[in-house]
Amino acid sequence: MIANRVGDFGIIMATILIFWTFGTVNYYSPGEVANSCYVLEHAESISAEQAEHGECDAEAVEAFATGAVGEHEEGEAEGSEEATEESSEVEGEANAGIVLVQETETEGEHAEEAEAEGEHGEEAAHGAHMSVEDMTNANFMPDQMGVFAQLDALVNLDEGETIPWAVSPDGTVIERGREVQFGPYSADISVVLFLIIVFIVLGVSGKSAQIPLFVWLPDAMAGPTPVSALMHAATMVTAGVYLLVRSNVFITYSPEGRLLIAIIGTATALVAGLTAVGQWDIKRVLAFSTVSQLGFMVAAIGVGAYVAAIFHLVTHAVFKALLFLGSGSVIHGVEHGEHHVHELHAHDHHGDHHDDHGEPFDPQDMRNMGGLRARMPITFVTYLIGTFALSGLPIFAGFWSKDEILLDALVHGGESTNVLDQLSGFIVFFGLLVAAGFTAFYMWRQIQMVFFGEPRSEAARHAPESVPSMTIPLIVLAIGATFIGLINVPGGAWPFTLFYKLHEFGHFLEASIPSITTGHTLDFNWLLAGLATAVAFGAIFLAHSIYAGNKAVRGEHGAVDGRDPLQDNGSTSQIFTAANRRLYWDDFYFAVFIRPYQRIAAFFADVIDWNFWHDYVHDKVIKRGYDTISQLLANPLDIGLIDGAVNGVGRLVSYLSGRFRTAQTGYVRTYAVVLLLGVVAVIVLMVLPLIPIGS
């Protein structure tokens, strides 16, 4: 909860900075295409060879865009042409890579020309065609563009240089330079850009479980296994990676930001990979594996390998969903085996089952498994395929995406002229190579503990294969985990290049990524692929030598006193203990965040809320003040005015009734006299008007 709120804070701060700097939070305005090479390629203005290798000549972009603009603006008013020329001078060379694409109906002369071009021309004559305008010639100011085009304009300015940026309502042209104003203070666009990246990375750390906000994700796997499969494969945990890739232009223009992202991603991959080695829970191993693989993606973004990052996100979604559903099948089988054992012992109930030592039976603890290969063959084969894919073995899905990340990192570090980029490239390459070894090791450790050896519990001995409704999805995902990597086959990967289009996934993404510099353009590197494969097989061989046979758990009572072979080895016992304790990250969080937060919360609850607010403010200030005011108001108003008015009416009625009561004497003669007087009074009143007055 706290980690996600910190991540939300980062996203909010990044959004505020972006809006303050650019006046919008839209990365692109309607019609903008970030990658002009993409437009040229699909307009057939460059050769197929250039398109295949991602080559794009800036002069070709300018010539193509200028020609399109000339055609598009033919026949427009002279004033519009002058405005266009002025806008061209305004933006200069800053936005040469950003183009504006518009769809217009082909009518009149253009339709006739299109029909003359043949079959495709006939289709174009009756439909829409693409009009492309270079931003340097477009008839609008930079402030009307999206965030990325504005950033492209600002970062290409020299210090002290300004360009016309916007037009005020009274027609005055407003100029702008690299400096961003924050009230009386100002900062260079590079500083603001780095701050934006820092806040975005903070948000990504919360959403996609990166250091230091990754501790929540392993605990999130406590829910139902299908939910874990969906969450770890395709939902919130990948949202941060997607956001980071969509923010690619920020990263492209900030070497410091790239280094920060590369360090965080690589450190997360290493820390989570090592932590997974020491876990007993089958789902917790996969949860830390997810954290590690997210680190791979983030590290790839740190070296500009945006295509490789999203490619690995896609392949990871398939084999991680397979592994989580496979773990659910294993847990389901072990639970059924446990119920079967209790039925045999006439203990058929649905409460918590306990072993001989009174400990609750945990069907997710790998120490209670073993030998399930023979009992659950479909689950075993599909889980093995998922393990191969996650470990990056040829030809499975993870092999293609992981190797692409490693190759991009190596090229980024070796060919870059920027020292920070060189550093980030080599950090990512060597760090992820070690993390890949961790991945293969902990996954083969899991395979040995779950499926090989002798069953270490009666539940495992009687575990049945899952029903078809559970195994069929495993088979489908196993097929995907085998072949999904072929959607982005690199050049030189014979014989796959004979059957699949090269870099197809990269071409799919390039329209929205203006700074694809490696990714889909690199050919397959057999030497690097051999190195990564050797690391994976070496880790698998090491895990097999440690856990094969019945050595996976040392102990007489399974999960109760089971010990990992690494625990019994003096040279590795401390490392395993640290990994089992999550490298003490939880202890660190409790010491630094949770306990201080609890103490602060207790202080506010006990001292501020109860002692101060309730006892002092409520009881003494509010209650006593209210009592005093009420007493002051009670005497003059309540008693004097309100009670006096009510009681006064009563006293008046009592007084009048006492006076009228004396007239009731009880004598007939008195009543006769009163009656006579009444009659006389009536006669007088009747006769009086008839008597003339003043005569």
pLDDT on residue 106? 43
Q: Which of 552, 580, 328, 354 is nearest to 450 (CA)?
A: 552
Same domain, 503 and 528: yes
The CA-atom distances, in angstroms, between 440 and each of 233, 376, 388 are 19, 22, 8
Q: How far apart are CA 236 and CA 239, in angstroms?
A: 5
* 33-90 pLDDT, tens digit each: 655 555 545 454 444 444 444 445 545 544 544 444 334 434 444 444 444 344 333 3
pLDDT on residue 622? 83
The answer to whether residue 562 is domain-embedded is yes
The answer to whether residue 378 is domain-embedded is yes
The CA-atom distances, in angstroms, between 304 and each of 85, 205, 244, 268, 310 are 35, 18, 11, 18, 12
Contact 365, 450 (CB under 8 A): no
Same domain, 446 and 567: yes
pLDDT on residue 81? 44
> What residues form DSSP beta bridges with 502?
489
Run of H or E residues at 134 = strand 128-134
Q: How far apart are CA 372 and CA 337, in angstroms?
A: 11
Q: Which two tokens stand for residue 664?
A: 């009731």
The answer to whether residue 283 is domain-embedded is yes
Same domain, 247 and 353: yes
Segments of the chain scoring below 50 in pLDDT: 40, 42, 44-55, 58, 61-62, 64-97, 102-132, 135-138, 517-520
Query: What is the DSSP track for 421-446?
Result: HHHHHHHHHHHHHHHHHHHHHHHHHH
Query: Which residues lie closer than 8 Å to 93 by C-beta, 6 or more apart?
Result: 136, 156
pTM value is: 0.75
Using the 3D structure, point to which of 525, 557, 580 is the last residue of a domain: 580
Q: What is the DSSP letter of 143?
A: G
Q: How far apart are CA 445 and CA 433, in angstroms?
A: 19
The answer to whether residue 411 is domain-embedded is yes
Using the 3D structure, point to which of 580, 610, 642 is the last residue of a domain: 580
Total domain count for the chain? 2
Same domain, 485 and 439: yes
Q: Say whether 489 sits in a helix, a strand or coil.
A: strand
Q: Which two tokens stand for residue 536?
A: 């994976």
Using the 3D structure, point to which of 555, 580, 605 is the last residue of a domain: 580
Contact 687, 681 (CB under 8 A): no
Query: Within a 10 A sphere around the Cβ of 212, how many other Cβ atoms?
Result: 19
Distance of CA 244 to the CA centre of its chain: 9
Same domain, 544 and 611: no
Q: Which two tokens stand for residue 567?
A: 């625990």
pLDDT on residue 345? 67
Same domain, 405 and 443: yes
Contact 204, 210 (CB under 8 A): yes
pLDDT on residue 78? 43
Same domain, 487 and 603: no
pLDDT on residue 423? 94
Go through 269-307 and write b for each residue having 16 or more CB atoms within 10 A of its CB, e for each that does not. bbbbbbbbbbbbbbbbbbbbbbbbbbbbbbbbbbbbbbb
* 350-365 pLDDT, tens digit each: 555 555 555 677 788 8
pLDDT on residue 74? 42
- Which residue range forms the structural domain that includes residue 615? 586-622
Q: How far apart are CA 116 and CA 405, in angstroms?
A: 47
Q: Which two tokens stand for residue 79?
A: 């004033």
Same domain, 556 and 572: yes
The answer to whether residue 360 is domain-embedded is yes
Q: Which of 210, 266, 258 is nearest to 429 (CA)?
A: 266
The CA-atom distances, in angstroms, between 72 and each of 97, 103, 137, 215, 435 are 19, 11, 11, 55, 53
The answer to whether residue 109 is domain-embedded is no
Same domain, 483 and 612: no
Same domain, 569 and 591: no
φ, ψ at 165 (rounded to 5°): -115, -40
Same domain, 532 and 595: no
The answer to whether residue 97 is domain-embedded is no
Residue whose entry in the numeric block shows the structure tokens 């102990």:
555
Same domain, 552 and 608: no
The answer to whether residue 222 is domain-embedded is yes
Q: What is the total residue count of the chain?
A: 695
